Structure 1
Amino acid sequence: MNAQGERWTAEQVLALAPDAASRKSGGKLAAPGPWSGAGAHDRGVWGLCAGSGGKPYQTVVDLDGPGYRCSCPSRKFPCKHALGLLLLWAGGGGVPEAEEPPEWAGQWLSGRRERAEREASTATAGAAAGAGKGPGGVADPEAARRRAERRAQRIAAGASELEQRLADLLRDGLAGADRAGYATWDETAARMVDAQAPGLEARVRELGAIPSSGPGWPARLLEECALLHLLNQGFLHLDRLPEALATTARSRVGLTTTTAELLASGTAVPDRWLVLGAQDSADGRLTTRRIWLRGEDTGRMALLLSFGAAGNSPELALPVGIVLDADLTYYPAGRPLRAALGTRRPDPPPSPAPAHSTAPVPPGSDIATALAAYGDALREDPWLDAWPVVLAGVTPVPGGDDGWQLADTRTGSALPIDPRCAGRTDLWRLTAVSGGAPVTVFGECGHRGFAPLTTWDPAPVPLQHPSGTGSTPHGGMP
C-alpha cells in the first residue's frame, strides 16, 4: 500500500490489529503524551514511545506494505506501539510532516525498499529456479517435467487411497462416524501429506470435524464426502475434463503455481483496487489472512492470501477502504479469484475536496444478480464454498428460527445470513450501522447464505481526509 499524500482513518488502522487486546492497548497510546520525536512523510511514520523502562521504544511503520518495526519485546505485528502511533497520525495531530526520518528509522525504511527492489528483480530468476536448472544454472525443463510427473503419481495414489477410505465409511454407515473419533481422520490426513496433496489433506481434516459440529452433521458429512469423491475422480481422470475444470481440479488438490513463477509468466491486470474486506483465520499451526479487492475499471474481484506461523500475524496488511494502484496476477483456475500482488504504483497527490464531501461507496448489485454471480462461479468450480459480492440497498431484518436475513424492499427478495455468523461482531456491526435503513454490504455469498464482512454507513459522513476511498467502512479482520 502507498499512502502518499493521505492519512488513514482510525477504522483502517484498527483493521490491522492482530486481536482485540491490541486494538484496546493501541487506543490508549493514541495520544501525544507518551510520544516524542514523532514524524511522517510519504514513506513512513516514526516516533519514540515512553515505556516502563528508562529508554523509549523506537517505533517505525513503512506505509508501503505496510511493515512495522518496534524495539519493544512484543511478538505481535503490529504491536500496540505501532497501532498507537498510526492512530495518532490518522487523527491529524501529534505527528507532524517531516522531510527526512531520523537515522534509526531511515535505515530501516531504506533497507525495506532495497529488499523489495531486489525481490522484484529476482522474481524471474526465482521462477526459473523453481522449474529446475541444468548445468550452468540454465533451466532444465526435462527435470521439471519428471518432478511434476512423480508428484502427480503420488497425488493420484493418495486420491485412490482416499476413495477407498470414503467407500469404507459409506459401507459402514455415517451414523457411527461420530463414535470413531478424530484419530482415523488424522491418520488419513497424514497420508495425504505423504502424497504431497495439501488440498486433500485440508478437506480430510474438515471431514473429521463435522461429526462434532452439531445437529444435522450426517447430512453435512455426506455432502462433503460427495464433493471430495468428485475431486478425487476429477484428478484421477484429468484427461477427460475440459481444460478450465482440469486446472481447477489441479489447484484444489494442491498443485499450485508458485508466486515467483506466476508473476514471471502470468498476465498482470493493472487497475486501482479497492480493499473491500479482510479476515484472519487460524488452525493452531498457521494464521491465514484473506484480503478481498475489487478493480475500479475491470470490476473484477480478487483475493490475496498471506500466511503467518503460529503466534505471528501475516505480514501483508491492507486496511479496508484504501485504493491500491497495482498489478495483480491471477492464479490459474476455471473462475480465477486468488491473485498475487505485483508492482504497486504511488498514488498522485490528492486534489482538494470540499470539506463536507462524502467518499464513494463501492457499486453493488441486487440479490438476484449476486446469486447469479455465485451460480456462475460454482458452475466453473464445484468445490467453491462462496463467492465475494457487494450488495446494495439491503436491510438486515430478523428471519426465521432466530436467524437474520438481508431484505431488498425494492424487489421483495431476501437472502439469509450464514448462521455461522450468529454472535460475530460482523453481524452486530451490520445491524447497528444499518439502524433499519438500507446499506451497502460486502461479503461472501454461498450455499449457507451470505456472510457479511464490511458495511458502509448509509448516512453522509464528512470527510476529514479528502483522499479517503469510501464512506466509513465498518469491518475488517475480526
Structure 2
Amino acid sequence: MNAMGVRWTAEQVLALAPDEASRRAGSRLGAAGPWSGAGGGEGVVWGQCEGSGRAPYRTVVDPAGPACSCTCPSRTSPCEHALGLLLLWAADASAVPDGAEPPDWAARWLAARRARTEGAARKAEGTPADPEAARRRAERRAARVTAGAEELERRLADLVRGGLAAAGQRGYGLWEETAARMVDAQAPGLAARVRELGALPGSGPDWPVRLLEECALTHLLDRAWLAADRLPAPLAATVRTRVGLPSVPGGAAVRDRWLVLAGYDTGDGRLTTRRFWLYGAESGRTALLLSFGAAGRAPALALPVGAVVDGELTPHTGSGQLRADPGARLLPVAGPAAPPPGGPVGAALDAYGRALREDPWLDSWPVTLARVVPARAEYGWQLADADGGEALPLTGGDRSRPGLWRLLALSGGGPVTVFGECGHRGFTPLSAWSPDDPSETVPLL
C-alpha cells in the first residue's frame, strides 16, 4: 500500500459535500481541464485550480483527516475545489500522480497541520499546567451546577403541583427564562432539556403525557447529579455528561479497520454537530465520532460513508457511551466493507433496552437490522422482519423521504440489511446494504 492509502471512489468523495450546491460545483471541477501542478505525496493531494481571480486557487487535501485548505473565499468545508481535486485524484492516477514532492505552499500547510495535531495529542496526554487551579475551577463549576439543579427541582415541583394542563397557558417565556438560568449555572445539558420541555405543551395529541414523561426524566437527572458521589463511576460519568460537563476520553485506544456506516449533521442555529458512526471489523465495536462547527462554519471532520479507514479511536468514559476520539490519522485502506452483523427487530429492541439501563436519558441506540422489509402500515412506514415477527415504525417525517425512497428502491420488496438508530419514537434508518452487493454501503440521509 502506498503512503496515500487507497484512492476513494467518486461516490465516497461526493459524500463529503456539505450541501447539494457544493456537490454539483465539485463535480464540474473533477476533470483535469482547470487543474495544474496536481500531485500527491507525503499523505496529501494538491493542485492549483483556475478560478475567477487573477491567480489560481491553491488547494491541498489530507485524505486521512480528512482535512483541506484552499485559497478560495468559500466558507464551506470541504469547498468545491477540494471536492473537485479529490474527484480527479479518485478517477485519474495520471492527472494526480503519487510519489511527488509537495510544493512549498502545500508543505507549509502540512507541517502546520502536523504540528497542531501533535500539540493537541500532547495536551490530551498531559496534565494541567496548574492542577490545583484546575481542581478549584472544577469545584466552582460543580457548585454552580448543583445550585442550578436544585432550582430546577423547585420549578418542576411547582409545575406538577399546579397541574400539567396549565403548562400550555404559560407560554414559552417561562421555559426560556428557566433554560437561561441553567446556562448561567454552567449546565447546558439541563438547559437543553428545559427547552425541550417548553416545546411540548400544545404540540399535538397527548402532549401532557409526553410532558410528564420528560419531566420525570429531567427530575431523575437532577437527583442523579445531586447524588453523583454515591453512584457507580461509569454512571456518574454519564450523569456529568448529561448535565453538560465535557465528555472526556478515558479508555484504551482501539486500533482497527473501521467501516464508516453513516454520517449526518444537526444544528440549532448556533452550533452544527456532525455525527459519524463507525464499525470495527476486528473489534466488533461501534463508535460515534463528533465534530462541531460554530457561527455557520461546517465541522472539520469529514469521512466518506462506505469507506474503510485504518486507525485508532479512543473511547470516552461513561456507561453506555459510544463516543470516541480519532487518532492523528485515519487512513483509507482497501478491505472488506461488509455491514455489521445484524439481527431481527426483537434483538434491536433488546439492545436498546439494555442501553437504557445504563443511560436512562438515551434518545437512541445504534443497531443493525438483518433481513427486514420496508412496508406501509396503517400509522406510516415500518421495517418488518422478512420471516415474520416484529416491526419498527420509521421516524423522520418528510426529512427522511429521499432516504425512504432509496431504501424502497434498494429493497425492491425483498429483505435488506439496515443500520440506524433505534429509539422510543421508532427507528431512523441511516444506511443499507443489498443482499446482491453487501460491500456497497448506501447512505439514506
> Structure 2 length as normaliser, TM-score?
0.91
Count of residues paired in the alignment: 443
Of 171-180 and 182-191, more deviation after overlay is shown by: 171-180
Report the counterpart of residue 200 of structure 1 in structure 2: 190
Of 221-230 and 418-427, more deviation after overlay is shown by: 418-427
Distance 1:173 1:75, change over 3 A: same
Are the counterparts in 2 of residues 288 and 306 from structure 1 also a CA contact under 8 Å?
A: yes
Secondary structure in structure 2 of the residue aligned to 1:365: coil
Distance 1:456 1:191, change over 3 A: same
**C-alpha distance in 2, partners of 1:333/1:280?**
23
**C-alpha distance in 1, partners of 2:118/2:234?**
34
Report how far residue 237 of structure 1 moved: 2.2
Report the counterpart of residue 266 of structure 2 in structure 1: 281
In percent, how many aligned pairs have the same letter?
60
**C-alpha distance in 1, partners of 2:288/2:240?**
19
Specify every segment of 5 or more residues in structure 1 that has no aligned partner in the other structure, as ranges: 134-138, 352-357, 461-469
Report the counterpart of residue 463 of structure 1 in structure 2: none
Aligned match for 1:228, one of 215, 218, 242: 218
Aligned match for 1:436, one of 404, 413, 421: 413
Of 287-296 and 165-174, more deviation after overlay is shown by: 165-174
* Letter of the 2:148 counterpart: G
Report the counterpart of residue 128 of structure 2 in structure 1: 128
Of 105-114 and 199-208, more deviation after overlay is shown by: 105-114
Specify every segment of 5 or more residues in structure 2 that has no aligned partner in the other structure, as ranges: none
For residues 112-145 of structure 1, the C-alpha deviation after alignment (integer angstroms, 9 at most, x for no partner) is 22332333234323x423xxx1xxxxx33xx444
Report how far residue 373 of structure 1 moved: 0.9
Report how far residue 220 of structure 1 moved: 2.1
CA RMSD of aligned residues (A): 2.5
Report the counterpart of residue 327 of structure 2 in structure 1: 342
Aligned match for 1:298, one of 271, 274, 283: 283
Are the counterparts in 2 of residues 391 and 441 from structure 1 also a CA contact under 8 Å?
A: yes
* Letter of the 2:104 counterpart: E
Report how far residue 111 of structure 1 moved: 2.5
**C-alpha distance in 2, partners of 1:25/1:217?**
44
Report how far residue 256 of structure 1 moved: 3.0
Report the counterpart of residue 74 of structure 2 in structure 1: 74
**C-alpha distance in 1, partners of 2:202/2:79?**
36
Of 438-447 and 42-51, more deviation after overlay is shown by: 42-51
For residues 301-349 of structure 1, the C-alpha deviation after alignment (integer angstroms, 9 at most, x for no partner) is 211111111210111112112223222222221223112223547577x
Report how far residue 423 of structure 1 moved: 4.3
Aligned match for 1:363, one of 341, 360, 363: 341
Report how far residue 365 of structure 1 moved: 2.1
| Superposition pairs of residues 131-150 of structure 1, within 5 angstroms | 133=130, 139-140=131-132, 143-150=133-140
**C-alpha distance in 2, partners of 1:371/1:72?**
48
**C-alpha distance in 2, partners of 1:217/1:36?**
60
Report the counterpart of residue 101 of structure 1 in structure 2: 102
Secondary structure in structure 1 of the residue aligned to 2:84: helix
Are the counterparts in 1 of residues 88 and 96 from structure 2 also a CA contact under 8 Å?
A: no
1:473 aligns with 2:441: yes
**C-alpha distance in 1, partners of 2:373/2:40?**
41
Are the counterparts in 2 of residues 327 and 342 from structure 1 also a CA contact under 8 Å?
A: yes
Report the counterpart of residue 395 of structure 1 in structure 2: 373
Of 147-156 and 189-198, more deviation after overlay is shown by: 147-156
**C-alpha distance in 2, partners of 1:5/1:237?**
49
Report the counterpart of residue 250 of structure 1 in structure 2: 240
Of 74-83 and 202-211, more deviation after overlay is shown by: 202-211
For residues 394-419 of structure 1, the C-alpha deviation after alignment (integer angstroms, 9 at most, x for no partner) is 12111222x11112222432222125
Of 273-282 and 43-52, more deviation after overlay is shown by: 43-52
**C-alpha distance in 2, partners of 1:24/1:163?**
51
Report the counterpart of residue 52 of structure 1 in structure 2: 52
Secondary structure in structure 2 of the residue aligned to 1:211: coil
| Superposition pairs of residues 156-167 of structure 1, within 5 angstroms | 156-167=146-157
Secondary structure in structure 2 of the residue aligned to 1:472: strand
**C-alpha distance in 1, partners of 2:319/2:13?**
35
Of 97-106 and 153-162, more deviation after overlay is shown by: 97-106
